Structure 1
């Protein structure tokens, strides 16, 4: 049985940092499933995305390491965990563990009951959508 990896994010203004993160996340298992935050959710949570959710899904689906892309308008990842029998969730280490659990609406107990582990990869703040937007504003 294949090991399924889940990553969650906006993935707007797709850049090298996203590519490196997704390749690293894919190395944790056999299938990489990406749950992207929908346009409405992203606008409420961060800002209006530059690329539509359909464009972001298309870009992500083009990566050879990606098995599936789905769009959500909910922070709760439990439905996707159960739908796809996720084994591991990977996120950047720019989040504290408890804050990230709260963000994805999960508890340690829930993850343990469903056999899901969390892994954090190194976050590179110099290669980010926020940094790109700032650079665009300054030019």
Structure 2
């Protein structure tokens, strides 16, 4: 049985996430997803909108996901040592350097293949957490502007 590990923030779940996880699942028999902790998200991206416990539980509910765990704070390879995947599936936009990961895995004597997956081309303007946030903010600002124009409080 081939075990695939996928990782991510998964804040404001969208079709890009679903595509990534579906493609990761195709690489093996079991898909294990590691969800970034709130503090890791703050360090690398932004303040998370959805708390880590909810993000993990949402991922667990997806039918293509066999297992889901919260990542480790200090050493991202600790969870790899615990899960022992055959493949790590990286999303097209994940900041991790493939060569750096491969070198660290080799150093730790972990025989894990690293695969970079392709971008989701679904045609939606809501493909990405930042775009979703921007669209919500723009809609809110437009609503406030219309209220001012129409004289509403």
| TM-score, length of structure 2 as denominator length | 0.77
Q: Is the partner of 2:75 in helix, strand or coil? A: coil
> Counterparts of 1:40 and 1:15 in 2: how far apart (Å)?
21
- Detail structure 1 runs of 4+ shifted over 3 Å in the superposition: none
Q: Is the partner of 2:53 in helix, strand or coil? A: helix
Between the two proteins, the alignment pairs up a number of residues equal to 134
Which segments of 5 or more consecutive residues in structure 1 lack a partner in the other structure? Answer: none
Counterpart residue number, 1:94 = 93
> Counterparts of 1:54 and 1:101 in 2: how far apart (Å)?
31
Counterpart residue number, 2:118 = 122
> Counterparts of 1:120 and 1:52 in 2: how far apart (Å)?
27
Counterpart residue number, 2:137 = 137
Point out the structure with max Rg over C-alpha. 2
Which segments of 5 or more consecutive residues in structure 2 lack a partner in the other structure? Answer: 140-153
> Counterparts of 2:114 and 2:85 in 1: how far apart (Å)?
11
Please state if 1:10 is matched with 2:6: no
Counterpart residue number, 1:22 = 21
Moved more, 15-24 or 65-74: 65-74
**1:67-93 deviation per Cα after TM superposition (whole angstroms, max 9, x unaligned):** 111112436332222212211111122
Please state if 1:108 is matched with 2:107: no
